[in-house]
Amino acid sequence: MLPAIRQCYPESRMPASIDDPIDIFTELFERAAQTCIEPGAMVLSTVDEKGRASGRYVLLKGVDARGFVFYTNMESRKARALSANPSAALCFYWPSIEKQVRVEGTVERVSDADADAYFATRPRESQIGAWASRQSATLESRDALDRRVTEVRERFQGAAVPRPPFWSGFRVVPQSIEFWTRDPARLHVRDHYERDGNLWVRTLLYP
């Protein structure tokens, strides 16, 4: 269940309505989807077991009260980093609506049932690609990848493509969510939500 919202303002200044950061995100996402080619593109930042930070774009595939979900090869660099250090940061930027959203939190694996359900919705070629790619491993040539794709196509010819055992998803469980709104004078609006047990604490930050 999504925590209630507690705002860091005196009672006399409390807004008439209480905001929900997941609802805010969903509304912004829907606005961005009207003008952005890939509104679900987000920078995922991780830190591995050696303390090395890394960032890359991944695609958001689900968001609800539990958190933000994406899928990947579990042998990839990001998956290895998340297994060693289950914390992550996400960053969305939608220039058409002049908004940025930053999410920080802990990370957990999605259930096998959730991973199976999502994998079944992927286009067949994407399913085949998931089997063929040894994500983040050294690739000797493009021909080698093409051969692996051909082998997978032949293996599952005339049959459904099951989810690979090495492919699943992660959920970023938010500890904080920040909404940034551009200001022409660089006095940007930063609305910050921090989880405090079963509550969300809302504050404004200096730009």
Q: Which residues are catalytic?
A: 186
Residue type (1 letter), 17: S
User: Distance of CA 48 to CAs 52, 60, 105, Å?
Assistant: 5, 21, 15
CA atoms within a 13 Å half-sphere pointing along the CA-CB vector of 51: 0
Strand (E) or helix (H) holding 177: strand 167-181
3-state SS, residue 127? helix
3-state SS, residue 21? helix
User: Distance of CA 75 to CAs 12, 13, 80, 133, 167, Å?
Assistant: 53, 50, 6, 10, 8
Please count the other Cβ atoms lying within 10 Å of the Cβ belonging to residue 123: 8
**Contacts with 29 (C-beta within 8 Å, 6 or more apart), sequence order:** 39, 40, 63, 92
